[in-house]
Structure 1
Amino acid sequence: AWRPVASATKLAALSLGAMLGGGGFVGFFDQLGWQNAFLLLSMVMGLLLLFALPLGRFDAVSSQPDSSHGRASLLKLLSVADSRRRVLLLTLTCCIIFPLAGLNRLMLIDLGVSIQQVGWIVGTLGPLTMMATSAVSIPLMKLAGLTRTMSLFAAVSLLSLVAMGYGFLQLVPTLAMAGAIAIGAGVSGIYVTVAAKILGWSEGAQPATDYAAYYGISRFASTLVTVGAASLISLIGWGLFYAIGALALLLVISVLRHLYSEE
């Protein structure tokens, strides 16, 4: 019953971090300089680490590990056919949605939008829409279910891709920025439903290991694909990139809808 709240809360935390790192630090780079901006960011990360370190000790005191199921193992997860299929599908999903949402700032710079505008406008409004998504997605998932909620946010993502592609090709920066802001909400909404599913899939004998595998493998793979996509764009252009991305998004959403309906 708490899965929608848990996945939406995670998105809200990611949004706040994105607003600080991708908005404030980028927007202030002209005053701080890149070196000072990175040093300040590293100090913030170090401070957060100090708060996080005691958490493991508290957990160790409050709970005892259950040894009845044996030692947690990634191979144990991958030995199950359904789990392998889920890992593969999650990886495919992340390798499509995150490059589509993560490279739009490069597109805006190619379009001639200044770094300050990218930081202050896209870097702040984008996470704000993600926070709004985290709040809206909770009642949506409870009332409409995961499948309909995911389909709604997929539609937002597709419209955003159209706005970015058209805005770039027709040299309309305002439209391209609007699409770059909105796609964060669309992709985040899709991933909220995925995160809720991951929490459900990780209810077995080794929930922490299963969750880490589902979440970590797919996000790591999407990072590599995003880096590769940035190089690919220089060859095919932004218009074709967004067109291919829209088709791939439709494909993966249809597969996810089928999987959600089965479970």
Structure 2
Amino acid sequence: MVMQGIGGRRLAATVLLVRDRIINGQSDVEVYIQERVSTMANFPRATVFPGGGVDSRDFADGHGKEVWRGPSAEDWALRLGVEPHVAYALVFAAIRELFEEAGTLLAEYTDGSGLVKDTSHFHDYRAQLETHEISLTDMLQKENLAIRSDLIVPFARWVSPEGNKGQFDTFSFIAEEPEGQWVDGDTSEASSTGYFPARLILDGWRAGLLRLVIPTWASLFELSQFRTVAQLMEFTENITVEPMFNEAIDNPRYAEFYQALRKERF
């Protein structure tokens, strides 16, 4: 079973969890971020979105249809440009990581009682998922749940340049905060978490208060162009997810990031 991305890189998934916010009488889009602890092997102290690597537990194990609702893995494969079994794993990894790190669960009850609105009684599963004691499929089956693949949308794909310490092929998704759910930062991977407008996060980076890597910076830059989640979601309907390699360096939209990076090095 193929578990690698382009050039043998590890597949990964991140989720931009967004919500509308009125600030000083003006609407804006807030996104949930976390600052990684200094002991993390990859991107220590960086400000990132919830996410992580795809692993074997994210692939279908014969129970795929039981725990999946919404557009199929085949539909997702067309949008992401990968094989259906890889698309399945990427969607599962995205939803699992979001639940592990933010306590937000994009799922519904299989008895027809609707979307999950209170995740507090599922809290103990988060640590078990993080330590690989169980898989998300195990949890879903035990609690009579199924993921909702229509509650996330593809946003971008970033491929680590050659020579980077961490070699990842990372797919980014966007999800709107589900009604009735509240995020929390109860994860061992983050020292601080919270919702902030993309513009404010970028201002913190400009002031030297935050560390951002280019995929995060670029995603924040794109988010900062929108004032409502509805506008953002309309934009994603026409997104083509193409792998982004070193060409980002020559993209004028990202010039500010690379100019700042060059100043740091010299």
Q: TM-score, normalised by structure 2?
A: 0.30
Q: TM-score, normalised by structure 1?
A: 0.30
Give the number of the structure whose residues are more often helix, by fraction. 1
- Structure label with greater radius of gyration: 1
Structure ranking higher in strand proportion: 2
Higher relative contact order, chain-length normalized (CA < 8 Å, sep 6+): 1
